[in-house]
Amino acid sequence: VLARDGGAVVPPARLLQLAEYLSTTLRETAAASSPDDLYTRAFACYTLALIGRAEPAYHDVLSQKAALLPHPARALLAMAILHTGGTHDRVLALLNAPLNRNLDDWNTALFDSRLTALNLMVWTRLDPVAPTTVSLSARLLNERTSAGHWGSTYTNAWALLALAAETKSQNPAAT
């Protein structure tokens, strides 16, 4: 999806196949309760939104499970909601909903800089000049290792996507 949006030729049929597959993974979301499963479903919602095949009904179902959503899932769902024209108030309610205490270990064990990057992406869309956005940007830069990266290729990618989104929000002419 990012390759397509960056100007690369991506066969539409491949994106349609991806959208159909992701759509099927969202079935039975109302019954889902494990953090891993909910995270995966929130990621599917975000990807479908990027493809242009959003399924807002699942945004609603997942939002109703906010207490069970780990922080990274909340950030991905927030980006899906924003990408499909959802309101800032709805996103803030999702991000600020009480968190089930059992998720603390899940959040800290699996995510660090990725969570900071995801939150920066959300806040860049919510309010690019908010103190929270500025703080997340500084935090993300400070989370780099002494070698200047964030610890893994996957985390590096999220960090760079977030910083690029922030740069673009500050200067829409930036590429």
pLDDT at 157: 95
Are 114 and 154 in contact, with CB atoms under 8 Å apart? yes
What does the chain come to in residues?
175
pTM above 0.85, yes or no: yes
pLDDT at 6: 87
Give the whole-angstrom CA distance, residue 7 versus residue 81: 24
Token reading at 22: 């992701």
Are 56 and 84 in contact, with CB atoms under 8 Å apart? yes
pLDDT at 103: 73
pLDDT tens digits, 87-108: 999 999 999 988 777 776 665 5
pLDDT at 104: 64
pLDDT tens digits, 105-154: 665 555 688 889 999 999 999 999 999 999 999 999 999 999 999 989 99
